[in-house]
Amino acid sequence: MGNLKQIVVLALAVLSRTESIAARLPLSGRLLHPRYINDSFLVKNEYDYVIVGGGTAGLTVADRLSEDGSATVLVIENGPLPDSAAVTEVRGGFGGFSSPYFYRIQSVPQPELHNASYPVLVGKAVGGSSAVNAMMTVRGTSEDYDRWGQLFRGGGSGRASPWGWDGLLPYFKKAVTFTEPGPEVRDAVDIEYDASYWGNTSTVYAGWPSFQYPGLAPQIKAFRDMPGVEFPPDSGAGRAGVYWFPTFMDPRKVQRSYARTGHYDGINRTSYDLIYNAKVTNVSIDEDLTANGVVFQMPVKNATKLAFVKAKKEVILAAGAVHTPQLLQLSGVGPKTLLDKAGIETLVDLPGVGENFQDHPMLGIAIMLRNFTVHPSPMDLMTNRNFSKWAQEVWDKNRTGPYSIAMGNVAAWLGMPVISPERHESIASKLEEQDHAAYLPPDTHPTVLAGYQAQMNALATSIRSSNTAFYSLSISGGNMPAGSSVLLHPLSRGSVRLNTSAPTTSEPVVDYRALSNPLDLEILAEFVRFTRAYHYNTSLAEYDPYEMLPGPEVTSDEDIAAYIRRSLSPSEYHPSGTAAMLPRALGGVVDEQLKVYGVRGLRVIDASVMPTLPGANTCQTVYAVAEKAADLIKADA
Ligand SMILES: Cc1cc2nc3c(=O)[nH]c(=O)nc-3n(C[C@H](O)[C@H](O)[C@H](O)COP(=O)(O)OP(=O)(O)OC[C@H]3O[C@@H](n4cnc5c(N)ncnc54)[C@H](O)[C@@H]3O)c2cc1C
Ligand SMILES: *[C@@H]1O[C@H](CO)[C@@H](O)[C@H](O)[C@H]1NC(C)=O
Ligand SMILES: *[C@@H]1O[C@H](CO)[C@@H](O)[C@H](O)[C@H]1NC(C)=O
Ligand SMILES: *[C@@H]1O[C@H](CO)[C@@H](O)[C@H](O)[C@H]1NC(C)=O
Ligand SMILES: *[C@@H]1O[C@H](CO)[C@@H](O)[C@H](O)[C@H]1NC(C)=O
Ligand SMILES: *[C@@H]1O[C@H](CO)[C@@H](O)[C@H](O)[C@H]1NC(C)=O
Ligand SMILES: *[C@@H]1O[C@H](CO)[C@@H](O)[C@H](O)[C@H]1NC(C)=O
Ligand SMILES: *[C@@H]1O[C@H](CO)[C@@H](O)[C@H](O)[C@H]1NC(C)=O
Ligand SMILES: *[C@@H]1O[C@H](CO)[C@@H](O)[C@H](O)[C@H]1NC(C)=O
Ligand SMILES: *[C@@H]1O[C@H](CO)[C@@H](O)[C@H](O)[C@H]1NC(C)=O
Ligand SMILES: *[C@@H]1O[C@H](CO)[C@@H](O)[C@H](O)[C@H]1NC(C)=O
Ligand SMILES: *[C@@H]1O[C@H](CO)[C@@H](O)[C@H](O)[C@H]1NC(C)=O
């Protein structure tokens, strides 16, 4: 069994964190943008809007604000402009941990995880994290967005708020063009979808690989044996359940579709400039507390020097949830206690900047289906050289076959009443009765604590609802689950703070504070029990399940908790929440217009503004938020 265990661990690692051996593709036919600027002498002195960060949100908003030519936009991106097909190549999913297009950041040691430190993965390139992500195209349920609106309305209904499901759905449609699966794969594996939840005007595409493993069908079917599991008509329906979802892929080219291909490449507009390899060091805020431009390090020949560019209308922060709070803090907008330590003058004491940090923790649970003989499977691809050689040839010649799959296209997204009919009510009650202050750092500002309490009360309600997904499990089509189970609504909150001993020269200090709220551990333990039941108490039982991880001997609460502490990853690379859209009295950093409290002419538009994570990978939500942000900004112009 030793070897088999090794293969499974390897397979899980490969499937959930794919290392790609990307074949290089010619970039023929692509327009070379005339406004790619790599020399600061070409940057004008002033623009209407200066956008910090040429990532997922930044490029989306830059495109929208400049499209009718009435306003000028400059995007400043710290990363390079990769000329490599490694970014667009669908084969193998994201570029792997060795990709040069990541920041190199390690979290602080996590005391609840044996003091282990974890890599903080965020993209560093034109396109940001959308250039390196795993391309899963999913959104949360309606309740995830209604909760955002609710937090502004004293717990009342968030449905009708501008950021509730009804308010965001048009922007989900605007953000991504849906393309239907081809008949070869739709009929073979019975992909269900409903295009009415999608739009068809965006230049960012969601498509379907031309190949799916036939073994998916029995694994989907087995969920019908689990009470309460629903099968929504589409991944975009805003409902929890087991469903198919597309991939951020342009199906005509079988290439990654991301912020750069959708909102920059091929656009030839004098109203839209972008400079790359240029790092913004701080926002310039005048005595009237108005943001008037940014200071950035610009590449000049082989050196860098500081430059200033003026923003006539607004500075827009889109540096992602790790670097946006750092930039606010460096600009004098943040918790005064922190800024004092770093020797930075406080312009606006905003205690929420960098707090409320959230990511999706992942827990490996590996159960083999020993008698599962539906071929081909991902396991065949990894263990059968002939098959992988064939797959490579088909891919090289035709861009079809198993290598056209970036990640699997079906998963379960389930609420706590489904996962844990027995214990979810007691977990919800415990959450309501908790002394919430005990699970934040002792020096937490009262407004940040109030925001945490409001979130925990809202999430207690969500624990009782089957339409807020807490658990996800991807399905592989092989004899083991494809990836990890993911905690979609963690109760623990971390922080992103500038490094007070080297504020301007070092990366921010990232602390997940994983499992700092002990109820996360109780919820994850329910995931282990549910995943076991799904394998042993359904039609999958006939395939002779064998538990590799945590292992059949791990049954007591104590042993399961010990396994979780040993093997949890605190991140699925979905950092968010660090410049939360919440009332200021709840530790908020931006209002419902995404304007930073206390400063004029400054907004945040990236993953930092999400007050609570959606129960889904975050990219599609970031695009929708950015599309809505563009309309809010235009309405103010
Ligand atoms: C490895 C990985 C896999 C993922 N998989 C998926 C998935 O399959 N599906 C999904 O939905 N989501 C996925 N995500 C998450 C998703 O990609 C992100 O949530 C989303 O892209 C974040 O968008 P953003 O605009 O907030 O930030 P980003 O897209 O990260 O953009 C921020 C940009 O700002 C730049 N920047 C930072 N600081 C500065 C500065 N000082 N000056 C100038 N520029 C600066 C950065 O270089 C970066 O380009 C994944 C993420 C990663 C990292
Ligand atoms: C983690 O580190 C802290 C501080 O260094 C130490 O007190 C604690 O004992 C460590 N915990 C574990 C589990 O190693
Ligand atoms: C796009 O969607 C609209 C309505 O949603 C529909 O009328 C139109 O036919 C669609 N166009 C294409 C090219 O699919
Ligand atoms: C961009 O537009 C300008 C002005 O319309 C035109 O002269 C130029 O050829 C265009 N460049 C490309 C690469 O399309
Ligand atoms: C931020 O920018 C201003 C320019 O307006 C500059 O004077 C100031 O020194 C900068 N602050 C930091 C911390 O770099
Ligand atoms: C800008 O790009 C040109 C052409 O690719 C290159 O020769 C030059 O060295 C670059 N300049 C900088 C500052 O990177
Ligand atoms: C480039 O950098 C090298 C090494 O730092 C230095 O010796 C050289 O003078 C620089 N060249 C220019 C043109 O600045
Ligand atoms: C690969 O194919 C060759 C002959 O074509 C065969 O001898 C060999 O056993 C096959 N290997 C595997 C792993 O199937
Ligand atoms: C190439 O793709 C076409 C269309 O999907 C398919 O019919 C054909 O069999 C493929 N060829 C190979 C070698 O896989
Ligand atoms: C803060 O910066 C200093 C100096 O670069 C570095 O030695 C230290 O490790 C950093 N601290 C953290 C927590 O990253
Ligand atoms: C299967 O169901 C039975 C009866 O409900 C239960 O006792 C048992 O614990 C379940 N097994 C698993 C692995 O969940
Ligand atoms: C698995 O397959 C073997 C060999 O075909 C068979 O003996 C065994 O009963 C099967 N196990 C189950 C649980 O069906």
Which residue, by CA, sits nearest to atom 11 of ligand 12? 544
Q: What mean pLDDT value characterizes the chain?
A: 91
* Residue 562, ligand 2, Cβ within 6 A: no
Give the separation between CA 241 and CA 616, rounded to whole angstroms. Answer: 12
Distances (CA, A) of 382 to 388, 389, 392: 7, 10, 12
Ligand nearest the Cα of residue 331 is 5
Q: Of residues 305 and 333, which shows the higher confidence score?
A: 333
585-597 confidence digits (pLDDT tens): 999 999 999 999 9
* Index of the ligand 11 atom closest to the CA of residue 536: 13
- Binding residues for FAD, by number, are 280
Structure tokens belonging to residue 601:
């002419």
* Residue 53, ligand 1, Cβ within 6 A: yes
Contacts of 599 (CB under 8 A, 6+ apart): 285, 289, 290, 291, 333, 347, 348
* Index of the ligand 9 atom closest to the CA of residue 210: 5
415-434 confidence digits (pLDDT tens): 999 999 999 999 999 999 99
Task: Give CA angle at 629 (623, 631), nearest 5°.
Answer: 110
Contacts of 218 (CB under 8 A, 6+ apart): 372, 374, 539, 540, 543
Mean pLDDT value of segment 174-198: 94
103-113 confidence digits (pLDDT tens): 999 999 999 99
CATH architecture of 85-261+357-636: 2-Layer Sandwich (3.30)
Q: Which residue do the tokens 């699966």 mark?
A: 181
Question: CB-based burial of residue 499 (10 Å sphere; 0-12 exposed, 13-18 middle, 19+ buried)?
Answer: middle
Distances (CA, A) of 479 to 146, 277, 381, 411, 548: 38, 45, 12, 15, 12
Give the separation between CA 392 and CA 389, rounded to whole angstroms. Answer: 5
DSSP codes joined into one string, 589-624: SB-TT-BBTT-BTEEE-SGGG-SS--SS-SHHHHHH
Ligand nearest the Cα of residue 196 is 3
Ligand nearest the Cα of residue 376 is 8
User: Domain segments of the chain: what residues?
Assistant: 85-261+357-636
37-58 confidence digits (pLDDT tens): 666 667 899 999 999 999 999 9
pLDDT at 333 over 70: yes
pLDDT at 25 over 80: no
- Residues linked to residue 81 through DSSP beta bridges, in sequence order: none
- 288: pLDDT confidence band, cut at 50, 70 and 90? very high
Which residue, by CA, sits nearest to atom 7 of ligand 7? 302
Amino acid at 406: A
Ligand nearest the Cα of residue 346 is 5
**Least confident segment among 15-19, 238-242, 441-445:** 15-19
Structure tokens belonging to residue 562:
């010990």
Cα-to-centroid distance, 384 and ligand 9 (Å): 21
pLDDT at 274 over 60: yes
Cα-to-centroid distance, 38 and ligand 6 (Å): 6
In three-state form (DSSP H/G/I as H, E/B as E, the rest C), the secondary structure along 251-291 is CCCCEECCHHHHHCCCCCCCCEEEECCCEEEEEEECCCCEE
* Index of the ligand 1 atom closest to the CA of residue 575: 19
Among 380, 382, 386, which is best to mutate for testing ligand 8, by the most ligand atoms less than 8 A from CB?
A: 386
**Least confident segment among 32-41, 298-307, 347-356:** 32-41
Q: Of residues 3 and 20, which shows the higher confidence score?
A: 3
How many of the other CB atoms lie within 10 Å of CB of 55?
Answer: 34
Pairing of β 410-415 and β 241-244? antiparallel
Three-class secondary structure of residue 432 per DSSP:
helix
352-380 confidence digits (pLDDT tens): 999 999 999 999 999 999 999 999 998 89
- 298: pLDDT confidence band, cut at 50, 70 and 90? confident
Residues in contact with ligand 10 by the CB-under-6-Å rule are 108, 499, 501-502, 506, 509
* Residue 281, ligand 5, Cβ within 6 A: yes
* Residue 250, ligand 1, Cβ within 6 A: no
CB 25 within 8 A of CB 486: no
Structure tokens belonging to residue 201:
């005007």
Mean pLDDT value of segment 10-21: 33
Give pLDDT, residue 389: 96
Q: Of residues 88 and 514, which shows the higher confidence score?
A: 514
Instruction: Give the HSE-up count for residue 578: Cα atoms under 13 Å, Cβ half-sphere.
Output: 35
C-alpha closest to that of 147 among 136, 137, 139, 158: 158
* Residue 392, ligand 9, Cβ within 6 A: no
pLDDT at 22 over 70: no
* Index of the ligand 10 atom closest to the CA of residue 108: 13
